[in-house]
Amino acid sequence: MLATIILLAVGALLLLLAGLWLFGERWRLLRPSTRRSLREGGFGLNALHGYVYGRWTNQYVDVLIHRLFPRLKPSGGKWLSDHYHGKVLTHEEAEAIIANQKDIPRRDLEQIIPYPLARDLVLQGPPDVAAYECACRHARATHCQPTQVCMVVGQPVVDFILEHNPRSSRRLTQSEALNLLRAEHERGHLHTAWFKDAMQNRFYAICNCCKCCCGGVEAMTRYGIPMMASSGYVAALDRELCNLCGACVDACPFDALAMNDSTVERNWELCMGCGVCVEKCPTQAITLARDEKKGIPLDVRLLA
């Protein structure tokens, strides 16, 4: 019965959007960013999904974290991660996306984004950027501050978010976006590039994720859902410089570091190469080392 109701509701919404799409150009019933999104991405379930996600992001992520993740079986988690996933970025790689000055129309980055769907990178240089309320932090009863730290990147998604969520988003200059990245990096938060099939199968956002609020981190560490691909690096520890303060252990979002017999041990499988431990180490005992077994980094400087 519930499934029938959901299907009827989805069908009704599809018909409504179809009608708006057919007559909206004449009557201006659709906002400009919605019309552009439909022109570029086509009309169908993915377009509907993208509209719901962009229009009601907080509610969407709240359902994902509190209702869907705990109930997913391994096969369901695999399906979800194939359609909606992130790539861990080093701080330098995240800055390079924002500072990019060239057009990048790259399709099917299967070696960099190891998922069957949502792996295109289409950027104009310099890209449009908007800061957006973090839905993961919003979903928590107690959460990290500040909350307007998600960064939507590129058109038409930037205009869509600004038009449909004016109170929780703001346009950023390139300098402001780089400053936001730096501030979040210094807070010990990791950068991730996100891809979604409902967003025209391509990159659309840089999230600045904290280990206590991020739904993607929780999906991996608590439910075993492979929502993020490694940066292509791993943490390398210089034991002579390490003073065993434990700051890196506390900071690691993926629980890849642990104190063991008066030393710090790194779990290679769990390490995603985010660099949070590098930023938090007071003695500079940790660096990021390139590891081909961890995949290929997403570095737009090599793609442009």
Would you say residue 142 has pLDDT above 80? yes
Average pLDDT (48-58) is 85
Q: What number of other Cβ atoms are within 10 A of residue 11's Cβ?
A: 10
Beta carbons of 177 and 142 less than 8 angstroms apart = no
Based on the fold, state whether residues 175 and 197 are members of the same structural domain.
yes
Average pLDDT (118-131) is 94
* Per-residue confidence (pLDDT) for residue 9, from 0 to 100: 57
Based on the fold, state whether residues 219 and 247 are members of the same structural domain.
no
CATH number, residue 276? 3.30.70.20
User: Residue 129 and residue 118: Cα distance in Å, rounded?
Assistant: 20
Local confidence band at 51 (pLDDT 50, 70, 90 cut-offs): confident
Would you say residue 16 has pLDDT above 70? no
Based on the fold, state whether residues 69 and 160 are members of the same structural domain.
yes
In a domain? residue 51: no
Would you say residue 24 has pLDDT above 60? no
Based on the fold, state whether residues 286 and 137 are members of the same structural domain.
no
Would you say residue 4 has pLDDT above 70? no
In a domain? residue 301: no
Domain range spanning residue 160? Answer: 61-229
CA distances from 13 to 9, 32, 54, 55 (A): 6, 19, 15, 14
Would you say residue 37 has pLDDT above 80? no
Would you say residue 60 has pLDDT above 80? yes
**Domain finish residue from 229, 245, 269:** 229
Would you say residue 85 has pLDDT above 70? yes
The pTM score is 0.88
Q: How many distinct structural domains can be found in the chain?
A: 2
